[in-house]
Structure 1
Amino acid sequence: MTINLADIRDRILIIPEKDFTKYHKSIDKKFDELHKEIKELKEILNQNTIKNDKLTQKQANELLPFGRTWWQQKRDSGAVEFSKIGNRIFYSRASLEKLIEDNKREEF
């Protein structure tokens, strides 16, 4: 059996311990940075989840495509929770989902 030196060089890497330690520390540092970024992204996602509880009139209309009068009646009757800031209206996603659920009909 002959050993081809080129095959061995492709498979084995010999580096000094100090270089390995330096490389290992560099990887650890990158891992810590990635871990920190993941934590920050999770926090942002959690914040966006809270923000996504409020829908603009346009978003609410995509969920329930009714006219302006219908929406006004639902606001006036208290059927949906909303906030008004200036001329903009924001609906509670949970209240719209509850409205849908409360009006669910069984099949005939």
Structure 2
Amino acid sequence: MKEKDDNNVFMMVPKSVIQEIREGLQQLLQGGNQLSSEGIGDYISEKEAQKLLGKKTTWFWSMRTKGHLSFTKVGNKVFYHKKDLEKYMEDCKTEAFRRGK
């Protein structure tokens, strides 16, 4: 028995509902653009994190996929918590620094 394809179903939606959806999407998109410039609160954009650590996009992608670096994604923009980056830097200190040499 073949399942019914819901992609061909037409629904009547009030114009006011469509307008509310459009306005909501516009607000979300504008909010995403504001976030992409530098970050928000304790989060910084990947572009800022690249400057801070001197690493490229591929390195950040690798660290995310391996689970070594936590991140938040809003739309197609990636953000990192400042404390997570600080912890990574602290964990990467050499033994000489840990021993106080």
Q: TM-score normalised to the size of structure 1? A: 0.49
1:106 Cα shift? 2.9
Picking from 70, 92, 96, the partner of 1:103 is 92
Residue 14 of structure 1 corresponds to: none
For the residues of structure 1 that align with 2:77 and 2:90, how far apart are their CA atoms? 26
- 1:60 positional shift: 0.6
Q: Is the 8 A contact 2:50 2:57 kept in 1?
A: no
Check if 1:78 corresponds to 2:67: yes
Q: In the aligned structure 2, how far is the partner of 1:105 from the partner of 1:55?
A: 26
Stretches of structure 1 that go unaligned for 5 or more consecutive residues are: 1-50
Q: Distance in 2 between matches of 1:52 and 1:65?
A: 22
What is the aligned partner in structure 2 of residue 59 from structure 1?
A: 48
Q: Which runs of 4+ in 1 moved over 3 A?
A: none
Give me the whole-angstrom Cα distance separating, in 2, the residues matched to 1:102 and 1:70.
17
RMSD: 1.5
Identity of aligned residues (%): 38
Alignment of 1:13-24 (within 5 A): none
Partner of 2:24: none
| Contact 1:55–1:91, Cα closer than 8 Å, also in 2 | yes
Equivalent-residue separation in structure 1 for 2:72 and 2:59 (angstroms): 17
Deviations 1:1-40 (A, max 9, x none): xxxxxxxxxxxxxxxxxxxxxxxxxxxxxxxxxxxxxxxx
Q: Which has the higher helix share?
A: 1
How far off is 1:66 after superposition?
0.9
* Residue identity in the other structure for 2:93: K
- CA deviation digits over 1:51-91, x for unaligned, max 9? 43100011111111111111101111121111111110011
Number of residue equivalences: 58
TM-score computed with the length of structure 2 as normaliser? 0.52
